[in-house]
Structures are given as structure tokens and as C-alpha cells.
């Protein structure tokens, strides 16, 4: 049987992907600062010199590669900010969408809905691989394992479920909560997950055993947030009771109680570079930073949203930046290590409901979505808005997520539409 080969060039980051049946994908970085004087033949010769092990396939497709490099140069110089363009539109569920997620590889994405269903979509073809119809109420949270072989879902039907992503078959059902599950997250080892629930508790489940092994109590209102620290021996929770707590997973005891906020917690994080640092955001419009080595009193308070609510926030994957979106239509970006605000980003004319940073060690962009159907792409280094993406409808953006390669963006709105934007140039032979 003849080996099937596929080549693709990405605009950002500029790289060549070579796929051959039965072999691991090869990624070749294109180390070129594209300008109008860039020469595709010269770039091709540099690729040959720098990638001797790929020389046969590079020579085989020389003519088409040079043609594709010409397109890449053109795209990079015409759109120097690597603008994203609409590739596909998906009309999804019967009821509104609650969440959307890329898997780790970025070849599939998941849409979750208030109708209790989740659909797994093939990113390339736009087809639904299968529909998950096991839950009886809203799926409000989901997590892919790092190898993308398993999918964990949490629902308002009080259940969490584990599915085989190859076929959509349910592997396990996790019972224990008496009211709706709001959020789920796995530990680093992917052996346990924590859940936050409207029954005022967070629970720890053993994935292999399929059962609850610990219940974390102490909040007196809905628990909306939960996450593990890196060592997987503590869980941080956030609640509508205006507090955050850290629990010891060896015994379930409460270690710290953070009580300085005056309204509901909207998010809380273990700082990934130092789990002694805690970050919290709230509807009181404040963002607070704590160092638990000094107890539960905050080190720093940011009051940067003009006395309006913080409705959403996101922490960059490298831990450097935090972004908050508010009812004042502003996005603020903070350097967590330096504990200072670096940008206040204006331009939206409605409240901010979604935020996401690009992934990787070097964070370049931030996307924000508002209540008027508009997303803005920001350069994190300069604070400049480099692209505006409009849905054409006055609808609330509920999600705007990058894939892990930073080449695709999923945008979901309250009109039940998901749009896929990309900055890729496909080159398939």
C-alpha cells in the first residue's frame, strides 16, 4: 500500500506539518520574519539545510511547497497581525449552548448545552462524530484527558460521567451530589477529579474506582469553583457565599478561609508557578492576591473596574498574566508575578463575558467577547486591538476559546451558533 502523505502550512506559528500514514506527525518551524522582500526559494533551501531527515519529502513536493510559501508570504505581509478568518459556522443544539471546548490535539471540539446533550465535532470536516445524550439536564463543565482518549462531564442532573472519546460510550457514572454540578476539574495525575455543586459542597472522586472518596464542606451557598494544586493534595473552592477556601485532601479539613470579598466569587486560582499564591475575582469588582504563607489576608487588591462586577477572568497557561472582564465594558490585564496592572483595554460597548489567552510559554494574544456579539483580539505585549470579530447579531458571546496550537478560535453565542475562525493556510496534496 502506498504511503499517504499530507502537508499543511500554518500562518501562526509559521510552520510546516508533514503527516504520513502510520508515522508520527513532523513539525518543521519556518524561522523567517516575513516581509515583502522574502524569497520563497531561499526559505525552501533553508528548510532543506535545517531538516536533513525530511529532505526526500521536501524535494518531492518542492514546486508545491514553494507555491505555498508564496501564499504564506503574501498572507503574512498583507495581514501582518495574522488575522483570523471565518472557516465554518455550526448551528448546534435545541437549547442554548452552555460551554465549548477544544480537545488537546485540536482535531475535535465539544459543544455542551442546556438540553443535556454534548456533541463531539470533527474540526476538519465539520461533521458530528457522535452525540452524548446520557445526561438529563444542562452539561455545564467538561474536561478531556491529556491523551484525548477520555472525556469527563459534569451536569445539573447531579451526575458526572466518563466517556470513551473514540465511540462516545459511557464508561462510568459518578454519583454523590444532591444538587446541580457546576464545575469539574481533574488533578495533574488524572486519577481524581473535584466537583463544585449547588448542594454547598465540593467532592473528590476516584476515577478508577468510580466513587466519591471525600466531601468538602463549609460553604453556606452554592460552590461554583474548584481546582487542585499542582501536588494534588489541596483543593481551592469559590462560592456564592463570597468566600474561597482551601481544603487538605489528606483529611478533608479546611486549611484557609478567604473572606475579604463582599459579593459572589466569580473565579479563583492556584498560581501555577507557586501554589502558595492564590488569586480571586468577584462580583464586587475586585481581584485579590494572597500568599498563604502569610495566612488568609490579601497581599494585593486590584479595584480597576469602576465599581462594576468582574464577570469573567482567565489566567494564562504560563502563569504570567491574568485578565478580567467587567460590567464596565473594560478588560484589565495584570502581571501576577509583579502584582501590577499592565493594560486597561477599552473598545467594547457591552459587558465582557468571555476571555482566553493563547497557549504556550510565550503568550501573545488575548481574545475577549462581549454582550453585543463582538470579539476583540488584543496584542498582550502592546495592548493594541489587532482584530475585531463581529457575529453580525446583537447577542451575548458566552465563549471564545483558542486551540492549543493558537491557530483556531471557537466563538459561541446565545443565539445557539458556534463559529470556527482560523489563521491556517491548508496545503493538502
**Whole-prediction pTM:** 0.83
Q: Cell numbers for 309, please give them.
A: 462586577
Cα 36 to Cα 255: distance, rounded to the nearest angstrom: 59
Omega before 13 within 30 of 0, i.e. cis: yes
Q: Are 321 and 333 in contact (CB under 8 A)?
A: yes
Report pLDDT for 428.
43
In the chain, which segments carry CATH 2.130.10.10?
Answer: 88-425
Which residue is it, cell 462524530?
129
Task: Supply the pLDDT for residue 423.
Answer: 86
Evaluate the CA torsion angle 258, 259, 263, 264 in order and state its sign. positive
- Considering the domain 88-425 in this protein, what is its CATH number? 2.130.10.10
Long-range pairs of 172-178 with CB within 8 A, sequence gap ≥ 24: 172/207, 172/210, 173/134, 173/210, 174/205, 174/210, 174/211, 174/212, 175/212, 176/203, 176/205, 176/211, 176/212, 176/215, 177/201, 177/203
Write down the pLDDT at residue 429. 35
User: Which pLDDT score is estimated for 4?
Assistant: 65
Q: Where are the beta strands (DSSP E) in 37-91?
A: 85-91
Those residues of the chain that have pLDDT short of 50 are 1, 78, 427-429
| Neighbour count for residue 403 (Cβ, 10 Å) | 22
pLDDT digits (tens, 9 = 90+) for 406-429: 999 999 999 889 999 998 765 443
Gap between the terminal Cα atoms of the chain: 17
- The grid coordinates listed for 173 are 457514572
What digits encode the pLDDT tens for the residues 108-160?
999 999 999 999 999 989 999 999 999 999 999 999 999 999 999 999 999 99
Amino acid at each position: 500500500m502506498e504511503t499517504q502523505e499530507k502537508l499543511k502550512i500554518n500562518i501562526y506559528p509559521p510552520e510546516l506539518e508533514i503527516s504520513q500514514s502510520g508515522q508520527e506527525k513532523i513539525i518543521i518551524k519556518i524561522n523567517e520574519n516575513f516581509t515583502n522582500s522574502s524569497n520563497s526559494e531561499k526559505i525552501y533551501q533553508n528548510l532543506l539545510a535545517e531538516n536533513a531527515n525530511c529532505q526526500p519529502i521536501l524535494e518531492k513536493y518542492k514546486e508545491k511547497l514553494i507555491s505555498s510559501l508564496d501564499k504564506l508570504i503574501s498572507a503574512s505581509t498583507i495581514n501582518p497581525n495574522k488575522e483570523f478568518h471565518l472557516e465554518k459556522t455550526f448551528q448546534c443544539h435545541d437549547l442554548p449552548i452552555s460551554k465549548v471546548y477544544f480537545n488537546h490535539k485540536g482535531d475535535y471540539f465539544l459543544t455542551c448545552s442546556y438540553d443535556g446533550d454534548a456533541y463531539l465535532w470533527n474540526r476538519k470536516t465539520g461533521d458530528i462524530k457522535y452525540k452524548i445524550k446520557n445526561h438529563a439536564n444542562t452539561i455545564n463543565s467538561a474536561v478531556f484527558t491529556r491523551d484525548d482518549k477520555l472525556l469527563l462531564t459534569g451536569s445539573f442532573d447531579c451526575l458526572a460521567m466518563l466517556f470513551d472519546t473514540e465511540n462516545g460510550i459511557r464508561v462510568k457514572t459518578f454519583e454523590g451530589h444532591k444538587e446541580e454540578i457546576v464545575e469539574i476539574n481533574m488533578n495533574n495525575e488524572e486519577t481524581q477529579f473535584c466537583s463544585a455543586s449547588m448542594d454547598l459542597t465540593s467532592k473528590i472522586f476516584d476515577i478508577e474506582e468510580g466513587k466519591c472518596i471525600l466531601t468538602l464542606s463549609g460553604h453556606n451557598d452554592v460552590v461554583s469553583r474548584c481546582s487542585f494544586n499542582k501536588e494534588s493534595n489541596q483543593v481551592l473552592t469559590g462560592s456564592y457565599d463570597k468566600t474561597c477556601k482551601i481544603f487538605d485532601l489528606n483529611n478533608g479539613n479546611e486549611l484557609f478561609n478567604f473572606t475579604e470579598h463582599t459579593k459572589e466569587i466569580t473565579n479563583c486560582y492556584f498560581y501555577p508557578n507557586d501554589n502558595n499564591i492564590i488569586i480571586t475575582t468577584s462580583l464586587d469588582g475586585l481581584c485579590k492576591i494572597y500568599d498563604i504563607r502569610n495566612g488568609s489576608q490579601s497581599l494585593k487588591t486590584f479595584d480597576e473596574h469602576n465599581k462594576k462586577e468582574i464577570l469573567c477572568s482567565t489566567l494564562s497557561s504560563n502563569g504570567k498574566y491574568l485578565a478580567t472582564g467587567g460590567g464596565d465594558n473594560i478588560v484589565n490585564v495584570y502581571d501576577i508575578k509583579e502584582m501590577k496592572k499592565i493594560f486597561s483595554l477599552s473598545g467594547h460597548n457591552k459587558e465582557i463575558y468571555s476571555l482566553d489567552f493563547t497557549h504556550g510559554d510565550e503568550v501573545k494574544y488575548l481574545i475577549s467577547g462581549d454582550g453585543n456579539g463582538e470579539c476583540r483580539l488584543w496584542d498582550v505585549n502592546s495592548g493594541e486591538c489587532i482584530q475585531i470579530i463581529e457575529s453580525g447579531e446583537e447577542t451575548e458571546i458566552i465563549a471564545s476559546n483558542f486551540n492549543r496550537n493558537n491557530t483556531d478560535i471557537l466563538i459561541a453565542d446565545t443565539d445557539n451558533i458556534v463559529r470556527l475562525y482560523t489563521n491556517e493556510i491548508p496545503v493538502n496534496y
